[in-house]
Amino acid sequence: MGKSKTIGVVGAGTMGRGIVQLFAQAGYVVRCLDTQPGAAAKAVDHVDGMLAKLVEKGRIQRDELERIRSRITACASPVEMADCDVVIEAIIEDLGAKRELFRTLEGIVGNEAILASNTSSLTVSDIAAGCARPDRVAGLHFFNPVPLMKVAEVIAAVRTSPATIETLREITESAGHRAVVTADQPGFLINHAGRGLYTEGLRIVEEQIATPADVDDVLREALGFRMGPFELLDLTGLDVSSKVMASIYEQFQQEPRFRPSSLVAPRVAAGLFGRKTGEGWYRYEAGKQAKPPARELPPLRAGLTVWIDPAADGEAELNTLARNAGARLLTNASDAELAIVQPWGVDATHAARSLGLDASRCVAVDPITPFGLRRTLMLTAITAPQTRDAAHALLASDGVTVTVIGDSAGFIAQRVIATIVNIAANIAQRGIGSVPDLEDAVRLGLGYPRGPLAWGDHLGSDRILAILQAQLRLTGDPRYRPSPWLVRRVALGLPLTTPEAAR
């Protein structure tokens, strides 16, 4: 079952190999080229090995392996790309090298052939500008490992023709990957949408609200992220990530939403890159992350007098929890040793003030988290240590782990999700991608448990807006200014993921 198109892959490194495997497995004839002698042949061997593993696992038959293998040719010269319908470039991330390669290829391939770049950080229009026919040049951005990361961004440079986009979309989807179409903007769709997790996580740590491990634990356990921002930074390497953060910020003309944290540069200078240097935000012993010690659980105090805000989302569950823990529930907050509130988008200090509570005897519990999952306990600026300990013990009394954090308008989870939703709303506002493409791109490319706008709908877009507005009021930092796209849809009461909202 051969596909009629022939695909060329130039650059047989990490990405090139994966792209060769993907298209050969999908039935295309694939030609592979690298400037380093023997590299293309090594890539074919690598694909062979990957296919052999699939045979072992029973995913493909041995004769299928032979057929796939027979479709791949290691080439020695660009001239052998002459009959390719699409050539995908995955060479070093260098504009000069890519331009030179594209110019060479233009003189070799047929009139109808498409030239695509797998660049992560260059502007595709810059690569296309060196070509005589920029209409047939586009980006086709895969993720590592290519066969497993089932999404690719089809990047429309300024002069790319719709037919070029359509062909790239078609071949990508025919190989079983979701093709998402994006404008030629910094970070395209996926790396752009992924900024919020890092910038807000770093901001929370910078403000001394929580430790990196607290941020990671809450996002993983309470919200279902596979990894928190600090674990991800340690995995990628801060030396690499710091450059991406700085580059996206600069490419967006110093947009405050993407402003990198000043915590990063000294850590890069000190070599705290992450796993590869044995220490980053975490320490690694024999490649394994050493968990920082958890805060000690204080003893439960029987007979503690507790007031729970009747307006709290989790009032009923908190009442039951307190009763089961032997606390005495009071209806008058001023008599209670501990007052518990559950604010959305407001810090504990202001929540206490607005209810006329004594802030030294008040704590806040994040309502974003389903009740049985890790709980976040937020202190006011002056919560007394004995109040903190009594609340910690009470909230952990049913065996659920509690993260204790400093005061913050919007806890950890609320702030991170609000930032992610806001950036996604602005991607929609700017038309960088369609809403369905954006949602799928984030789930498949970043592995988030939901698309960003679906998160907004799940939690309530009005709440997301309230969190952003509270942060903006409290800090005066324009990075929290809500996207007009979000503000208008909240005003209309429209879910963010409906077709009407997407218009």
Looking at the annotation, which residues are catalytic? 120, 141, 153, 191
Nearer to ligand NAD, 83 or 94 (CB): 94
Q: How far apart are CA 324 and CA 373, in angstroms?
A: 18
CB of 194 to ligand NAD, least distance (A): 13
Which member of 119, 369, 383, 483 binds ligand NAD (CB under 6 A)?
119
Q: How far apart are CA 399 and CA 331, in angstroms?
A: 26
Closest by Cα among 408, 391, 400 to 348: 408
User: Do 208 and 261 meet the contact criterion of CB atoms below 8 Å apart?
Assistant: no
Residue 15 binds ligand NAD (CB under 6 A): yes
**Cβ within 8 Å of residue 64, ≥6 positions away:** none
Residue 101 binds ligand NAD (CB under 6 A): yes
CB of 273 to ligand NAD, least distance (A): 16
Cis preceding-peptide flag for 145 (omega within 30 of 0): yes
Nearer to ligand NAD, 90 or 272 (CB): 90
Residue 475 binds ligand NAD (CB under 6 A): no
Number of residues that bind ligand NAD (CB under 6 A): 24
CB of 247 to ligand NAD, least distance (A): 12
Residue 10 binds ligand NAD (CB under 6 A): yes
Q: Which residue is nearest to ligand NAD (CB)?
A: 13
Q: How far apart are CA 477 and CA 259, in angstroms?
A: 11
Which member of 14, 70, 324, 354 binds ligand NAD (CB under 6 A)?
14
Nearer to ligand NAD, 164 or 236 (CB): 236
Nearer to ligand NAD, 167 or 247 (CB): 247
Residue 36 binds ligand NAD (CB under 6 A): yes
Site for ligand NAD in 136-155 (CB under 6 A): 142-144
Classify strands 402-405 and 375-379 as parallel, antiparallel or unpaired. Answer: parallel
Closest by Cα among 61, 71, 60, 93 to 23: 71
Nearer to ligand NAD, 237 or 406 (CB): 237
Phi/psi for 404 (5° steps) reads: -100, 125
Enumerate the β-bridge partners of residue 88: 9, 116
Cα 218 to the center of its chain, rounded Å: 15
Q: How far apart are CA 338 and CA 359, in angstroms?
A: 10
Which member of 34, 231, 279, 439 binds ligand NAD (CB under 6 A)?
34
| Stretch binding ligand NAD (CB under 6 A), from 20-28, 35-43, 57-65, 291-299 | 35-43
Task: Render 68-122 in DSSP notation, one character per residue.
Answer: HHHTEEE-SSGGGGTT-SEEEE---S-HHHHHHHHHHHHTTS-TT-EEEE--SSS
Nearer to ligand NAD, 119 or 167 (CB): 119
Residue 232 binds ligand NAD (CB under 6 A): no
Nearer to ligand NAD, 23 or 143 (CB): 143
Q: How far apart are CA 150 and CA 178, in angstroms?
A: 6
CB of 11 to ligand NAD, least distance (A): 3
Look-up of token digits 């990361």: 149
Enumerate the β-bridge partners of residue 403: 376
| Stretch binding ligand NAD (CB under 6 A), from 8-16, 249-257, 281-289, 366-374 | 8-16
Q: How far apart are CA 50 and CA 275, in angstroms?
A: 25
Which member of 7, 12, 65, 113 binds ligand NAD (CB under 6 A)?
12
Site residues (vs ligand NAD, CB under 6 A): 10-16, 33-36, 39, 90-93, 97, 101, 118-120, 142-144
